[in-house]
Structure 1
Amino acid sequence: MVLKIGKIRGKTNYSASNLPPGPWKLPFIGNLHQLIGSLPHHGLRDLAKKYGPLMRLKLGEVSTVVASSAEFAKEVMKSHDLIFASRPPILAAKILSYGSTNIGFAPYGSPINLTEEIYSSTYSFTSRVAFGKKTKDHEKFIYVVKEAVKTSSGFALADVFPSVSLLQLLSGMRPKLERLHKEADRIMENIIKEHQRDMVTTKSVEGEAEEDLVDALLKFHEHGSGLEFSLTTDNIKAVIFDMFSAGSETSATAVDWAITEMIKTPRVMKTAQNEVREVFNRKGQIDETCIREMKYLNLVIRETLRLHPPIPLLLPRECGEKCEIDGYEIPVKSKVIVNAWAIGRDPNYWNEPERFNPNRFLDSSIDYKGTNFEYIPFGAGRRICPGISYGLANVELPLAFLLYHFDWKLPNGMKHEDLDMPSALLSEENKICT
């Protein structure tokens, strides 16, 4: 194994003298030791303070470039967007997402217009499949998604030493991912078959039934021969898994963080709660049409996503061809990581960046669309999250319900300043409870 790693190191030891700066590397493991004991986005932010906002690391055998400023995030995701449009190979994506054919990790190709029908159906899809029409496998599927997200987070040995396939087995990652994939595949196969049966039934009934995302994707699957692209059953499963892992799990995390920050800042909690209750009481109903009137709630969500982006280190990109950024050479095949968490807390762009202050977005033109690179919770460029509207809806409505129906406080006389939680996915022992 050591000999094999040594050979790989020899092949990837770039001779270019103008690479981005970075810390000294140990043999074989590179800079992995400098990320032990800290959350990766914290450790990378601390290293960037010393070596600069464009920094080169060696994570195992993988050459990695980290962008930790709005300027360099813009270089990666806008100025050189096409060069960095593809994703590097990730074991979890290969196993769980049917050979990386999902939205997040699919290789970059020519743009395809999926039509408004698909995008407008995302919310009804999740509500029907996940929360509305509850199947016997509902809880099991949610468990599988949570375990998959947990297993694939961070820097896995199998990904930093991709040439050593034995590590995939020794670390236990591949067997666990394959077990999760097998269970998820069984559940999604049942979901697809159920939709296919429903489609046959509705054909014999007058009028058209309301469609969800699975129905729309099945139409492309069945009639794809006459279109510019077609979808396989595995493609559909990969998209379904994306909707749950990238949509539901991250949205739930954002709601947890919003409640946590408001508990720590009672003034913000009171203002948001008063607005939600006033709108709901006046409208006499609780639905998404009310959300448009909740201006302060929108500010709370924007500030929550600044401090706690659901994916602190955006999905990695891969350099497709040799290029220069700020005079530094980025070698081909380098993994490129954008630290959205560090950028959202950078004092160069934000006044009192560690303070939760929704009012900072009052009269601000900064939005979620990836045009303001100091604020990129959903990424930017060609690989920006395609489900922004869906993700926001999954945060807005649950958060509004929680503020309307419940009063929130800390237990057992705990003080607000005592509430200290790590900036990662909330652990089980720190979950919000009522």
Structure 2
Amino acid sequence: MPRPSAPIYLDHNAGAPLRPAVRECMIEALGDTGNASSVHAHGRKARARIEEAREKVARLCGARSRAVTFVSGGTEANMTALSPSWQDQGAPVYLDKLFRSAIEHPSVVTGGRFAVADQIVVPVDREGRIELNALEEAVKDADPSLVSVMAANNETGIVQPLAEVGKMARTYGHFFHVDAVQAAGRMPIDMEAWQADVITLSAHKFGGPQGIGAVVVKSTARVPSPLMVGGGQENWRRGGTENVAAIVGFGVAADLALEEADQTRHLSELKARLENGLKTVCPATVIFGEKADRLPNTSCFAVPGIAAETALIAFDLEGISVSSGSACSSGKVSVSHVLTAMGIEEDLARCALRVGMGWNTTEADIERFLEAWPRIVDRLNPDARHQAA
């Protein structure tokens, strides 16, 4: 009897496998004792580890190390950034509204610390890009507010026109937040070009540990009010004892991601092979955002008549892990708010699958996916093979 093939993981957008170098450094850090707030030798060693990691994360963002505040992950980072209360040059500033795109991550869709009545949703076009004219119309006469637009969408990989959004926010006197959780390690992060006041990150999207993220500000003179208060950790910007091992792992992952920033061509080639193969099997395959600028690792597609829920189970039985949209909905497969905002019909949106590649994805992984897909199609809806594009 043939030996089963090793499982294949193609869900990096939900969370990437831990890099071996990250695991090693974390195990070493876990072997040490010491609270980074203590002044004795053990505490100083823990503090040194944190500050070294802070410098590495700052380099990934082109920021100063003191601009980086470690938090528990992307959701807490977004909750921290989405605050109506800021300090600007030492003076308190209250931001009137939150302007966000219609395709933001669920942690931004909730509005953070803004009241529901103070949130304005800006539409996107059919390719999933924010409507700049609609954004300008919304913000041009508004009191100082916060504009929040993600760098790249977690479901479709579509990259937003951040430089244009940042320029608009600056022109009309608003603060600008970029959720860069999916961008880190997959595209350059340039706070200066984006004119972003604050960006947010999560380590586990690019090979770091789960449970650690960062809020990175352009200037420590302009910062959101703390979400977690208590002790004076993280320069009084986030109370609570630091998770030293996770922070160390975050730093190593950031270093590796920066080193590989110019190696995304490999992922782009794998994505092209995947999408060409999908259309060969089913010419009617729809690639969402196909004409837009997208992350090199992400493909979100659908075949009419093949429901995502049953396709996910079929792939799982083949030993292949993919997903349908965001992984932040308690494992439920439902209609994506992202695709709905793009104007995708509900029947087609219910068929959407996402492949997220990453640092350990190989050509053999994509070939095995494409070998399994025709078998799955033939089981679920053989007529899909003959549908016209």
TM range (shorter): under 0.3
More helix by share: 1
TM-score (norm 1): 0.24
TM-score (norm 2): 0.26
